[in-house]
Amino acid sequence: MNKGLALFFAVVGTVLLACISLALSLGNVWLVLLFTILSVGFIGFGFVVKAKMRKRNGG
């Protein structure tokens, strides 16, 4: 995975985790659940992209 794409996944993942903490401080359970699902899904998608790129590049 190139550095730009890795940075993108790191920044967006961090923002989503920060949104979870914001939703916790607001006391909104539905937003906490939404951002938790989005965070897990996005981070998992990043691992899938990394695995596919590694497989395509033969390493």
Print the domain residue range for 50. Answer: 8-56
Q: Specify if 12 maps to a domain.
A: yes
Q: Specify if 31 maps to a domain.
A: yes
Q: Specify if 3 maps to a domain.
A: no
Q: Specify if 32 maps to a domain.
A: yes
Q: Specify if 2 maps to a domain.
A: no
C-alpha 18/C-alpha 12 separation (Å) is 10
- Residue 37: what pLDDT? 98
Q: In terms of pTM, does the model score above 0.95?
A: no
Number of structural domains found in the chain: 1
- Residue 59: what pLDDT? 63
Mark out the alpha helices in the chain (DSSP H runs). Answer: 3-26, 29-56
C-alpha 45/C-alpha 20 separation (Å) is 18
Q: Specify if 28 maps to a domain.
A: yes
Q: Specify if 14 maps to a domain.
A: yes
Q: Specify if 16 maps to a domain.
A: yes
Q: What is the pLDDT along the chain (59 residues), one digit of tens a residue?
A: 889 999 999 999 999 999 999 999 999 999 999 999 999 999 999 999 999 999 998 86
